[in-house]
Amino acid sequence: MKITKENIYEFDKIYRANLINSLAGFKSANLIGTISTGGKTNLAVFNSVIHVGANPPLIGFLMRPVTVERHTYMNIKETGYFTINHINLKIYKSSHQTSARYDRDISEFDQCGLTEEFIKSVKAPYVKESNIKIGLKFVEEVEIKSNGTILIVGEIIELIVPDGIIGSDGYADIENAGSIAISGLDGYHQTKKITRLTYAKPGIQLTEF
Ligand SMILES: Cc1cc2nc3c(=O)[nH]c(=O)nc-3n(C[C@H](O)[C@H](O)[C@H](O)COP(=O)(O)O)c2cc1C
């Protein structure tokens, strides 16, 4: 089966969104927690979280165009902080429900049965039920001109992870921490690691460990 660009433009909106969203592969499953200056918390599921750089430690995610009210975006711009919380097997359904369009004065924490957790250093709520939690300070936004999407970049302020998850070389075993993955906009996956491989150098045989 071959699908052309013309075919893609002719597809029904939902069909096209499902198809194109599936093509980027397995993605991380995260909840982004924020709070307004008025003190109302907000939580939403995002599958576009990416590593931006380790020094300074930066993580980003893509925000859909702000042509309609986007509470996560508004709160980050108001307070300058957000949290990224890995989704796990116990919370994937409640996490998915956070994508529903709730009014700004309604918190997805209450509506979806998830628990807010605050730590002084970050002005945004963590998700208690999540095992890997990252607190970030907003540093930059970059507009993707072709479609109005915005790359939001944050600097890591703190990490909250269970004991034993970070190895002696710094590798965080997120599978062991129960983190799951997303395909498309509604497929949730458990992962099964194949191996780790040594740092690749020309002419040197890779080994598994
Ligand atoms: C699996 C899944 C992944 C999503 N990923 C993103 C994303 O990466 N970026 C985005 O802007 N919206 C994404 N959304 C949509 C938001 O979750 C949705 O727009 C939500 O209502 C935003 O809430 P807010 O207005 O409270 O910020 C995703 C939805 C689902 C179901």
Q: What CATH number is attached to the domain comprising 61?
A: 2.30.110.10
Question: Ligand 1 centroid vs 15 CA: distance in angstroms?
Answer: 17
Is residue 133 a part of any domain in this protein?
Answer: yes
For residues 1-21, give the mean pLDDT. Answer: 97
Residue 155: the pLDDT is 98
- CA–CA distance, 164 with 206 (Å, rounded to integer): 26
Is residue 11 a part of any domain in this protein?
Answer: no
**Pairing label, strands 27-28, 181-183:** antiparallel
- CA–CA distance, 41 with 25 (Å, rounded to integer): 31
Is residue 196 a part of any domain in this protein?
Answer: no
Is residue 15 a part of any domain in this protein?
Answer: no
Structural domain that includes position 112: 26-189
Indicate the number of domains in the chain: 1
Residue 33: the pLDDT is 98
From the CA of 64, give the closest atom in ligand 1: 11
Is residue 48 a part of any domain in this protein?
Answer: yes
For residues 194-200, give the mean pLDDT. Answer: 97
- CA–CA distance, 161 with 133 (Å, rounded to integer): 7
For residues 102-115, give the mean pLDDT. Answer: 96
Cβ–ligand 1 distance for 95 under 6 Å, the answer no
Q: How confident is the model at residue 118 (pLDDT cuts 50, 70, 90)?
A: very high
> Residue of the nearest CA to atom 30 in ligand 1?
185
Question: Ligand 1 centroid vs 19 CA: distance in angstroms?
Answer: 17
Question: Ligand 1 centroid vs 118 CA: distance in angstroms?
Answer: 22
Is residue 194 a part of any domain in this protein?
Answer: no
Q: How confident is the model at residue 8 (pLDDT cuts 50, 70, 90)?
A: very high
Is residue 198 a part of any domain in this protein?
Answer: no
Is residue 204 a part of any domain in this protein?
Answer: no
Q: Do the beta carbons of residue 156 and residue 134 sit within 8 Å?
A: yes
Hey, what are 8's tokens?
A: 């893609």
